Structure 1
């Protein structure tokens, strides 16, 4: 089996000696993609769909396609610093768009394909996007609100032509493959992710050409443990920062090929079949995915090339790790990080795994558990997970919450950036996740702000008031639960609960809908009238 010696063999030595190297100018397309493209045969991706279609793309082909697209975008008036919204499933074009935008210095704003017309409008206006690239389903949604999005000057559609949209395939084919890569500074803006918080609508986490493209060197090298001969499969939606982590910067920093399965649903049996059929060596998935895989008869499958598996998004149950290890020989190694960061801690291949722990701090990251006064806490004492940013700010940290200086300031305390999570560290330096410090819900790898769900519910005439919290779930770890006070004239019933669920799916992205609804007469509140979500959450988790 290839690549048996991990990239990191002595954790402490690597951690102590690590130094970030950031040149003044850096462009991932020019400095990384084009470097691998010098070998015309070097495979960048193996793409398959549910119909058995297979496409192989080399780095050289990806490089050429991205130059053509950069020329097309330029001809449509997109310039350096302009925002391009990319809302695509796992089509090859997603990787081409990422590479082209970075190459020309445009600012990428990725989104999940589950967004509604209202979501698309909010994002286009908040980011002041000048271009949107999407598929027919979402183009239809966007056209409903296009007139309310004055900054969007160009619209590009993939797979089939549409009136008033530029057809990707034809236009890219006709463009020149000669394009001079923009001279982007490492400190220039590169991409922006929308991320849910406790209050208000999603905020924009802004990354530079250094923070993700260079920062994810540690993700790809130490945690994913990739080498140029590997084939990595990240089972993730393209709309989330996880895709930038493990479907773009992490693997390609290391020159590894990617396996991509283009599908509109997760099928555990199909996933296991593909894992057995193709020469996949490393795999990354949310804990929910592994939970669904271990429910299958794993004894039916052989995984001859698989050597390393990681999970992220929420802590993984030790029982799942045991079953998977027995079937594949691989220990699922946990990792911890955020949309705002690169990998902050991980169960790296050279350290002893402690099931349920998120591992030890990543080289280049000073990760601590601190109290209210910024004191580092002793072992086994719960506190806030924080990154030391003074005197040396680590490379893998976002620049700011774009256009919201107060929100940006709110996540710093003294010399630290606060992740918003709580944990404790054991005597050996392993971090153990306790929970969110706020009310954000982490389910199936998604991050959901209660406010967004409550806002959707209140639009229904039956809802007088609601409170949304996380609730335990065997498969998903936790799910969204809504406590609902009904308006006069409405009666609680299973039918009404289903109606409210459908309503939320239609008003906001479907993944946010409450899987559980409980009708109540009162909600716990503070003296100032704020809903005490913490009380409801503790009640759900048996802490009250």
Structure 2
């Protein structure tokens, strides 16, 4: 792998030899709790490599400098245009705000060219990109700030309010720079326009940290999974190379947020690796709007959740998607009925996959020609997976057990005791129950914890319970996921009301509005049932499995 810059050569030493913020490195798990890494032959990554520099260098060396990279309904940037803008933003970060390698930078924004450029600039400058979903409220942003301790944030100008509230409540965050505001004083657009674009990429070691991705798991207490430049480059050599096989003439679209590792890989990193381009919409996606844009833009690759494919099928049949050739589904279980519905409407076999924030991206999947009904797929080249019992012994084919994975990427949490639960004896345990057949196909069964996955979003029941309990009418509550034909699962709350309150339709609406005001809207309970008491053990522990029973 050649790491020569597209326009400058990096010094032959690591950024660690200069002034460096060691915050993340000093809070990694002990090495004996790290996952074991296994790399594909021929995918050696040099000891010094900056992820973003490598991606742009690869594009330039393959003759893609003038090809489209980032598209919207207002502008199209070539790889050369994008690199110039990324370098100007990196200049602002380092020259105007003193960013040093290892500093965390909070990024808040939807899928847009501005968000993509900001993310790339932070990493090119040696910072650690910490992306938060645009739907997060001040409380949730405050938790991320407390964990990551950023001094600086780049925020879409339309999403400033909640971040400013979080900042006002205390913490390390000192400066918020808005982007996507063209002429506003102090905005990134104005500041970066004053730079000349002459910027030497930070000479990071490949094992320096490039990004921090937050996942709440089942407790509601956020976990920060960290990934190095090496991790992301190694991931590019796995699923994208062997399963997706994108081409330079591909135009990629999709709904996963760039704040998700699913979206970051699919809608930025992997297209760059292939020399392809990405289209970011200026309006929120609806199933019909996505189909119409796929047709108008000529998109060839689509990423979204099973729920969306199911809702898009009728519109795809009506409008047609003649240029579309690859469709990727992840984030929740893909029902065979949805797969077939989409194939009947478009003739396209969905590429299913399972990945994890902790693993950066997809590690079990199959190309369209290798699909087996009911199965997610086979292990992606570069990874090894097995189904084991509680003692770690592999179970016979067809038996349910816990999924264990090893490969070029793996889980390292920032300063979190839950590392011991995820990595055992060098293997990653993503928390899923699977079976495997004799041909190597893996069949998803369920989460082996209480995580609720609804329309591709992860929701922790205890976090929703905590919000509900802050309402004056709620005495007790329990939150679980229940099956739903459209969303895979929906959040359902079982509520015990305080005396004097009535469990009627008005109360349901009031509680839903209360949760929406406290948490990201996708976390609110779409179903609420009122009980006289909750099922508990003799020691008072809530028995969530009883709430899940019909």
Checking the alignment, whether the CA contact within 8 Å between 1:18 and 1:363 is kept in structure 2 is no
1:45 aligns with 2:70: yes
In the TM superposition, what is the alpha-carbon distance from 1:298 to its structure 2 partner? 3.6
Cα deviation 1:445-490 (Å, max 9, x = unaligned):
1011111101110110111111110011111010100111112221
Q: Equivalents in 2 of 1:429, 1:536: separation in Å?
A: 35
Cα deviation 1:183-210 (Å, max 9, x = unaligned):
1112111111110122242111111112
Mapping of residues 499-518 of structure 1, within 5 Å: 499-518=510-529
Question: Which stretch of structure 1 is more off in the superposition, 270-279 or 331-340?
Answer: 270-279
Q: Equivalents in 1 of 2:441, 2:175: separation in Å?
A: 49
Equivalent in the alignment of 2:345: 327
Cα deviation 1:336-374 (Å, max 9, x = unaligned):
1011112110022442x1133110001111111111111
Unaligned segments of structure 1, at least 5 residues: 1-14, 49-53, 389-393
Equivalent in the alignment of 2:277: 257
Mapping of residues 123-202 of structure 1, within 5 Å: 123-160=144-181, 166-202=186-222
Q: Equivalents in 2 of 1:241, 1:312: separation in Å?
A: 11
Equivalent in the alignment of 1:454: 465
Checking the alignment, whether the CA contact within 8 Å between 1:46 and 1:56 is kept in structure 2 is yes
Equivalent in the alignment of 1:71: 91
1:268 aligns with 2:291: no
1:472 aligns with 2:492: no
What is the total number of aligned residue pairs between the two structures? 509
Q: Equivalents in 2 of 1:104, 1:16: separation in Å?
A: 27
1:521 aligns with 2:521: no
DSSP-derived class of the 1:262 partner:
coil
User: TM-score with structure 1 length normalisation?
Assistant: 0.90
Equivalent in the alignment of 1:493: 504
Cα deviation 1:237-258 (Å, max 9, x = unaligned):
2322211120122221121211
Checking the alignment, whether the CA contact within 8 Å between 1:282 and 1:306 is kept in structure 2 is yes
Question: Which stretch of structure 1 is more off in the superposition, 360-369 or 306-315?
Answer: 306-315
Checking the alignment, whether the CA contact within 8 Å between 2:220 and 2:461 is kept in structure 1 is no
1:343 aligns with 2:362: yes
Distance 1:274 1:137, change over 3 A: closer
Q: Equivalents in 2 of 1:525, 1:202: separation in Å?
A: 26
In the TM superposition, what is the alpha-carbon distance from 1:229 to its structure 2 partner? 2.2
Cα deviation 1:78-135 (Å, max 9, x = unaligned):
2111111111112211111111111111001101111112222221122101111112
Q: Equivalents in 1 of 2:228, 2:513: separation in Å?
A: 38
Q: Equivalents in 2 of 1:436, 1:456: separation in Å?
A: 23
Q: Equivalents in 2 of 1:357, 1:453: separation in Å?
A: 32
Distance 1:94 1:217, change over 3 A: farther
Q: Equivalents in 2 of 1:331, 1:289: separation in Å?
A: 15
Equivalent in the alignment of 2:547: 536
Cα deviation 1:130-155 (Å, max 9, x = unaligned):
11111234212222232333422221
In the TM superposition, what is the alpha-carbon distance from 1:162 to its structure 2 partner? 10
Q: Equivalents in 2 of 1:534, 1:20: separation in Å?
A: 45
Question: How big is the alpha-carbon RMSD for the aligned residues of Structure 1 and Structure 2?
Answer: 2.0
Equivalent in the alignment of 1:429: 440
Equivalent in the alignment of 1:290: 309
Equivalent in the alignment of 1:316: 334
Question: Which stretch of structure 1 is more off in the superposition, 217-226 or 495-504?
Answer: 217-226
Equivalent in the alignment of 1:248: 268
Equivalent in the alignment of 2:49: 26
Cα deviation 1:226-275 (Å, max 9, x = unaligned):
122222222222322211120122221121211222323x3222211122
User: TM-score with structure 2 length normalisation?
Assistant: 0.89
Equivalent in the alignment of 1:51: none
Q: Equivalents in 1 of 2:110, 2:487: separation in Å?
A: 22
Checking the alignment, whether the CA contact within 8 Å between 1:219 and 1:250 is kept in structure 2 is no
Structure 1: 4+ residue segments shifted above 6 A:
none
Unaligned segments of structure 2, at least 5 residues: 1-37
In the TM superposition, what is the alpha-carbon distance from 1:20 to its structure 2 partner? 4.2
Q: Equivalents in 2 of 1:238, 1:446: separation in Å?
A: 13
Distance 1:160 1:93, change over 3 A: closer
Q: Equivalents in 1 of 2:538, 2:403: separation in Å?
A: 29
DSSP-derived class of the 1:210 partner:
helix
